[in-house]
């Protein structure tokens, strides 16, 4: 069962829990206390803040200092989470609270119930701070144990019960209902991304996505290889041709009450990417189970929009394939015909994401949406350019910038990228409409964006989010981000959709 989260307006001394969480900032001469830390300090007879100084706490991001209460409060442990330095006005961004809450959850493994005073940072909590604290607390408590066979009953598990202290518990509960829905969507993505590819093959991902949609009353459609052939989906069939486990196309549709916009979502669903004939190096190939993170994100997003009953029409179009080498695999020099009639010369079978996405974008555009949002683990060049935590966003200038702004509001790093006209020439083919991969490696992320643009009808606002790095954390956990699947960019997609409704 997922952890629970509730709000209370009871006085601190009337609450009981296995731990209490407070925050401090990073100052030039030591920690900067917040109202929650000061309240616990008073309850402990003025012992907390001097103890932090003695222990060398700095209030830095991701720093969590745990101290015993020595029976001076209704909780045995105090967890003090660092917020980092405040801004010039002495304030902390909601993302700092989100990360602090997540770091505290990870540090409190073995403690079942937690009372959090983080929402008090900055004064009376508003919806943004409540969302941040709630999301960080629950996302930091995520764990994936489906394949652990030696789970002991006495192992230290993440907290399962969170209580957020707020002056108006009723208002806070309204905010936390949204938090629960968002966290469930992110957890769905993390679970799918973390599932090994022998269990999450194309037909299975399509089935799980359809089941998630049907549970919320969405219209669902799954095309198998025969239907894909009849529909002219040459790109999806080419990429999936090398695997015994054949490709699929999943469509999930939601129509909200009083819908004011029609939005297309597209997400890349390569359940495992060996590179095909243009095979990848063996080192770290196991991470390629995450190549369906974009698909998982749009599946979860359309389900989340339905759960929140937003006044919008959303259809997710999800191409799903496994890219493997075999006698039936597509080859470099093949020419593939896509659903919209474009013909592409294949120069690199490892540039397969854009090949399945071409078909999916063409199909999504047939619905005549107002905007099209696509996300994918598209290029290693994204990691080279922006690192593991920041996604690159390309497309129509205004929608691209709206996505970046939504990422900032959500706490998911996004950066606007251009589509320089001269890079399009790298896709020219002597025998077909274009090649799928430029011989020049420079600007690889942007060249991939140009390829996708070829399938977007003129006049349709669109944005592509390259999440090759941010969707899968290969390093140590940080903030509320675990090792493995992260759930990026579900929160950005939701914030973008809501922004389009304003």
Q: Which of 190, 354, 424, 491 is catalytic?
A: 354
Neighbours of 279 (CB within 10 A): 14
Contacts of residue 295, Cβ cutoff 8 Å, sequence gap at least 6: 205, 209, 250, 267, 268, 269, 318, 319, 320
Q: Which of 112, 261, 280, 409 is catalytic?
A: 280
Evaluate the CA torsion angle 197, 199, 204, 207 in order and state its sign. negative
At 438, is the secondary structure helix, strand, or coil?
A: coil
Helix, strand and coil content of the chain, in percent to the nearest 5, comes to: 40, 20, 40
Instruction: Spell out the alpha helix ranges (H) of 309-442.
Output: 353-365, 380-386, 397-410
Question: Kind of pairing, strands 77-82 and 19-27?
Answer: parallel
Reading the block at residue 441, the tokens are 């490696």
Per DSSP, what are the bridge partners of residue 313? 255, 262
Largest CA distance in the chain: 80
Active site residue 354: yes
Rounded Cα–Cα distance for residues 475 and 480 (Å):
13
Contacts of residue 266, Cβ cutoff 8 Å, sequence gap at least 6: 298, 316, 317, 318, 319, 357, 360, 361, 364, 372, 373, 374, 375
Contact 64, 78 (CB under 8 A): no
Evaluate the CA torsion angle 121, 125, 128, 130 in order and state its sign. positive
Contact 315, 369 (CB under 8 A): yes
Helix (H) or strand (E) holding 93: none
Buried-state track 297-334, b at ≥16 Cβ within 10 A, e below 16: bbbbbbbbbbbbebebbbbbbbbbbbbbbeeebbebeb
Reading the block at residue 437, the tokens are 């991969």
- CA distance to 155, 220, 233, 294, 478, per residue, from 190 (Å): 22, 22, 28, 11, 15
Reading the block at residue 242, the tokens are 């090398």
Instruction: Give the end-to-end CA distance of the chain in Å, rounded to a whole number.
Output: 35
Radius of gyration of the chain (CA): 24
Catalytic site residues? 280, 354
């Amino acid at each position: 069962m997922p952890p629970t989260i509730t709000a209370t307006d009871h006085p601190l001394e009337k609450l009981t829990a296995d731990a209490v969480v407070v925050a401090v900032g990073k100052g030039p001469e030591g920690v900067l206390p917040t109202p929650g830390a000061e309240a616990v300090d008073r309850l402990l007879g003025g012992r907390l803040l001097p103890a932090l100084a003695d222990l060398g706490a700095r209030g830095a991001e991701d720093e969590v200092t745990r101290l015993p209460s020595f029976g001076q409060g209704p909780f045995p442990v105090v967890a003090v989470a660092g917020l980092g330095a405040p801004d010039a006005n002495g304030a902390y961004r909601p993302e700092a609270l989100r990360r602090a809450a997540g770091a505290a959850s990870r540090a409190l493994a073995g403690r079942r119930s937690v009372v959090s005073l983080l929402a008090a940072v900055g004064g009376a909590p508003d919806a943004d701070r409540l969302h941040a604290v709630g999301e960080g607390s629950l996302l930091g408590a995520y764990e994936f144990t489906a394949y652990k066979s030696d789970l002991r009953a006495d192992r230290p598990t993440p907290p399962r019960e969170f209580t957020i202290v707020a002056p108006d518990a009723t208002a806070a509960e309204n905010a936390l209902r949204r938090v629960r829905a968002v966290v469930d969507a992110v957890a769905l993505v993390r679970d799918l991304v973390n599932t090994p590819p022998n269990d999450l093959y194309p037909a299975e991902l399509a089935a799980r996505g359809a089941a998630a949609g049907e549970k919320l009353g969405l219209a669902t459609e799954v095309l198998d290889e025969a239907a894909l052939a009849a529909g002219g989906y040459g790109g999806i069939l080419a990429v999936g041709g090398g695997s015994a486990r054949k490709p699929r196309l999943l469509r999930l549709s939601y129509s909200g009450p009083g819908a004011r916009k029609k939005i297309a979502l597209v997400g890349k669903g390569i359940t495992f990417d060996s590179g095909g004939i243009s095979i990848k190096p063996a080192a770290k190939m196991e991470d390629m189970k995450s190549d369906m993170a974009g698909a998982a994100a749009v599946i979860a997003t359309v389900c989340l929009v339905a759960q929140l009953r937003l006044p919008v029409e959303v259809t997710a179009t999800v191409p799903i394939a496994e890219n493997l080498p075999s006698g039936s695999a597509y080859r470099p020099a093949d020419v593939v015909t896509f659903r919209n009639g474009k013909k592409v010369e294949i120069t690199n079978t490892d540039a397969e994401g854009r090949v399945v996405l071409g078909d999916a974008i063409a199909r999504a555009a047939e619905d005549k949406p107002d905007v099209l949002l696509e996300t994918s683990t598209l290029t290693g060049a994204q990691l080279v350019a922006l690192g593991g935590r920041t996604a690159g966003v390309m497309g129509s200038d205004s929608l691209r910038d709206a996505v970046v702004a939504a990422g900032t509001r959500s706490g998911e790093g996004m950066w606007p990228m251009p589509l320089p006209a001269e890079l399009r020439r790298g896709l020219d083919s002597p025998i077909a409409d274009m090649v799928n991969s430029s011989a020049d490696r420079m600007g690889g992320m942007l060249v991939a964006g140009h390829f996708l643009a070829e399938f977007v009808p003129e006049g349709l606002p669109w944005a592509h989010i390259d999440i090759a790095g941010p969707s899968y954390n290969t390093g140590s956990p940080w903030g509320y981000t675990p090792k493995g699947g992260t759930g990026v960019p579900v929160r950005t997609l939701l914030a973008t959709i809501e922004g389009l409704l304003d």
